[in-house]
């Protein structure tokens, strides 16, 4: 699992101070990823998951990881307010530039509606 953590424009205002301290940013993003992955590790203990928080923009982090992947799975937050079928910038970039097969998983309908 790769997570690009350099998105000052996509975080709550309370998280902005983290971007001034790379060590704190890395620690916060690593803890967040472990929290997200933990229930899946418990549910599927035989599946090995490497968690890689990177202090890069998501596009660069994912494209770099895709270089050695057979499949790249990305989520789409469904934040395109004009047309719900439009992909976000990161998902679109992966679809067009990743050197491997790309699967885009849309956000659950209720989550996308509540995010607005």
Tokens 């994912």 found at: 62
List Cα–Cα distances, 102 to 38, 41, 90, 108, in angstroms.
24, 23, 12, 19
Summarised one tens digit per residue, pLDDT across range 85-108 is 677 888 888 999 999 999 988 877
As to burial, measured by CB atoms within 10 angstroms (0-12 exposed, 13-18 middle, 19+ buried), residue 91 is: buried
Q: In the structure encoding, which two tokens stand for residue 111, read together?
A: 């989550």
Model's pTM, two decimal places? Answer: 0.66
Q: What is the pLDDT of residues 20-53, one digit of tens each?
A: 777 887 888 888 888 989 998 999 999 988 888 8
**Distance set, CA 85 to CA 41, 89, 90 (Å):** 31, 13, 14
């Amino acid at each position: 699992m790769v997570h690009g953590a350099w998105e000052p424009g996509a975080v709550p205002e309370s998280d902005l101070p983290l971007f001034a301290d790379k060590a704190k940013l890395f620690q916060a993003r690593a803890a967040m990823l472990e929290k997200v992955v933990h229930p899946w590790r418990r549910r599927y203990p035989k599946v090995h998951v490497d968690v890689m928080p990177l202090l890069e923009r998501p596009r660069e982090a994912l494209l770099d990881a895709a270089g050695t992947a057979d499949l790249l799975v990305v989520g789409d937050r469904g934040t395109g307010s004009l047309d719900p079928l439009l992909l976000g910038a990161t998902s679109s970039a992966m679809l067009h530039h990743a050197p491997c097969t790309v699967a885009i998983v849309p956000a659950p309908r209720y989550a996308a509606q509540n995010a607005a």
